[in-house]
Amino acid sequence: MKFWESNHQSVQEGDMQFIALYKFYYQDLYAYGVSLGFNIEDVKDAIQEVYLKLYFNERLCIDEKKIKFYLLRSVRNQLIDWERTKKDTSSIEEEERSFKLSVSVEESFISDEEDLLLKKRVNRILDLLTDHQREIVYLHFIEEMPYEEIAVMLDMKIQTVRGQVFKAMEKLRKLDSKDYFLFLYNTCSVFKSLYRIVKDNSFDIIYVQHLNVLPVIVLVNIIFKKDVIVHLHVVYADTIVHWLVNLLLRSSYIKKIIGVSNYALQQLDEKNKTKSMVLYNPVCFLNKLNFCDKYQIAIIGDVIYNKGHHILLEALSKSSIQYTHHVIGNIVDYQYHNELQSKYGTVNSIYTGMIHNVTEYLSKNKIGMVVIPSVTSETFSLSMVEAWSIGIPTIATNNFGMKELVDTFLPEYASYLLFKLGSANDLCAKMKELLGDDKLYHELSNRLYSVVKDSFSDKNYMESLCKIIRDI
């Protein structure tokens, strides 16, 4: 039996499943092959070859979560093998292939002159990256592959892959943030893609997760008039953006606005609040940790000022206890990171980079506490609930979405779990109090675990979401 088939399928049903698999990944494989610098016909042949091998290999067993990785790697290897054969050589230097990540805009939406300006502008930005950086950025951000899989595909160390992403992002951050050409291109590109998808398929509801595409959704829906559900994750501080978001959300086709917290929904005007509701994000329900090392403290978030790393480090430096400080996230602001290293170099810190499975890392390293010291608004703290899911206590800023979670589900423990915004002294005192009281610590750990089981399960989330859809 082939891996895409089930025990109860007929041969014909299995073949239909395979065709669906082929169609689902074809465009991704084609775009990646062309971007590698190979000609179009070779790319098409390589895709066909990979799928034929896949179809006739009875013994092949692939994890469903790894199918895309398997196909991308197979197409890449097939193309390189053919190139080696043509050149009659056993190896091809990476420098011989130039990863061609570029853009184009269809004439039906903008004029040829604008098309040329857009392509030149965007391609000039992409040219700032090396071939390796372009390919890694493509795989990570467009194909959404984790660093580990990219490392295997490109035969590189994981840390090297992470380093290349950091360097690429540093180059791109130096560009002017008010890039109107890019804004125009992105708007046109999203409009075209969405228009084709809705036109070519039968949908009853459009579900919007990212509000940066909301203007395009509203425009497309003038044509197709589909019901829309919007998921609100972000609080918009800018007055103009805040006004624009509310204006767009008033569309009669937007039937429901789901907020990740009441804190997220507070920005809505009165009319939009009437069609809004809170639906907290779910987390995987795992086994509770039997043992935690209270000297292991973690902060989950990229190294930027807003995440409040300096507050936790200041608190740790004031403590008489020698903690190990785990930073789970990318170093985004290197200047800020260097300042932290210079000022708090005596604190034993471990920087992990981005971790695909946070709870697994917390469990494996027996983390005793997670701290969320954010100094700017967070609508919902996923890191807080992920820690709760395995019974790890958290201490967070007494504000934003973190305060809402504690006040809603654990009000009796608020005095232990929340500290004054920006106060390292208060954080240090709360850590000492909670970590120094074994009875309180274990009581709280058990309570946190039961809260996630009762209120943050995938099952509860999906039941609530399905009810929303049925009601529409």
- pLDDT tens sequence across 403-454: 999 999 999 999 999 999 999 999 999 999 999 999 999 999 999 999 999 9
Query: Residue 164 — pLDDT band, cuts 50, 70, 90?
Result: confident
Q: What's the gap between Cα 396 and its chain centre?
A: 22
Reported as a pLDDT band with limits 50, 70 and 90, residue 172 is low
The tokens of 164 are what?
């290349």
For residue 108, the 8-state DSSP code is T
> With 70 as the cut, is the pLDDT of residue 101 above it?
no
Average pLDDT, integer, range 144-148: 82
In angstroms, the CA 278 to CA 260 distance is 6
Identify the band that residue 1 occupies on the pLDDT scale cut at 50, 70 and 90: very low
Checking if the pLDDT of 255 tops 70, the result is yes
Q: Token pair of 245, please?
A: 């978001």
Residue 370: per-residue pLDDT: 97
Residue 105 · residue 188 · CB < 8 Å: yes
More confident residue, 132 or 466: 466
Task: Report, as an integer, the average pLDDT of 74-99.
Answer: 69
Residue 200 has pLDDT above 50, yes or no: yes
Between 188 and 425, the higher pLDDT residue: 425
Q: What is the mean pLDDT of residues 214-218?
A: 86
Q: What is the structure's pLDDT at 349? A: 95
Categorize the per-residue pLDDT at 58 as very low, low, confident or very high, splitting at 50, 70 and 90. Answer: low
**What's the rounded Cα separation, in Å, for the pair 304 and 310?**
9
Cβ pair 309, 373 in contact under 8 A: yes
Segment 445-465 mean pLDDT: 93
Confidence (pLDDT) at 197: 83
- Confidence tier at 346 by pLDDT (50, 70, 90): very high
Both tokens of 267, joined, read: 């920005």
Query: What are the two backbone dihedrals, phi and then psi, of residue 108, each rounded to the nearest 5 degrees?
Result: -70, -15
342 versus 147: the higher-pLDDT residue is 342
Mean pLDDT value of segment 43-61: 80
Work out the pLDDT band at 112, boundaries 50, 70, 90.
very low
Check residue 59 and give its pLDDT: 59
Specify the amino acid at residue 463. E
The answer to whether the CB of 431 falls within 8 A of the CB of 451 is: no
Q: What is the pLDDT of residue 175?
A: 57
Determine which of 55-69, 194-208, 269-283, 311-325 has the lowest per-residue pLDDT on average: 55-69
Q: What does residue 296 show for φ and ψ, rounded to 5 degrees? A: -105, 110
Mean pLDDT, all residues of the chain: 83
Mean pLDDT within 173-200: 64
Identify the pLDDT of residue 109. Answer: 37
pLDDT at 106: 39
Place of tokens 């008010």: 178
Portion of the chain with pLDDT greater than 70, in percent: 82
User: What stretches of 36-66 show up as alpha helix (H) in DSSP?
Assistant: 40-56
Per-residue pLDDT, 180: 44
- pLDDT bucket at 358, cuts 50 / 70 / 90: very high
Q: Cβ neighbours of residue 303 under 8 Å, at least 6 residues apart?
A: 309, 327, 329, 330, 331, 332, 333, 336, 337, 340, 351
| Residue 386 in tokens | 């992920």
Question: How many Å apart are CA 98 and CA 135, to the nearest integer?
Answer: 9
Structure token pair of residue 8: 């109860």
pLDDT at residue number 85: 78
- Please enumerate, as own/partner, the contacts of 101-105 that have beta carbons within 8 Å and a separation of 24 or more: 101/35, 101/126, 101/129, 101/134, 101/135, 101/137, 101/138, 102/126, 103/185, 103/189, 105/185, 105/188, 105/189
pLDDT at position 307 over 80 = yes
Can you say whether the dihedral through the CA atoms of 288, 293, 297, 301 is positive or negative?
A: negative
Angle at 455 between CA 385 and CA 366, to 5 degrees: 35
Q: For residue 127, count other CB atoms closer than 10 A to its CB.
A: 11
- The C-alpha torsion from 446 through 450 and 452 to 453, rounded to 10°, is 140
23 dihedral zone (left: phi>0; alpha: psi -120 to 50; beta)? alpha
The packing angle between helices 147-154 and 158-173, to 10°, is 110
pLDDT of 103 > 90? The answer is: no
Predicted confidence at residue 105, as pLDDT, reads: 37
**Which one, of 65, 31, 72, lies nearest residue 51 by Cα?**
72
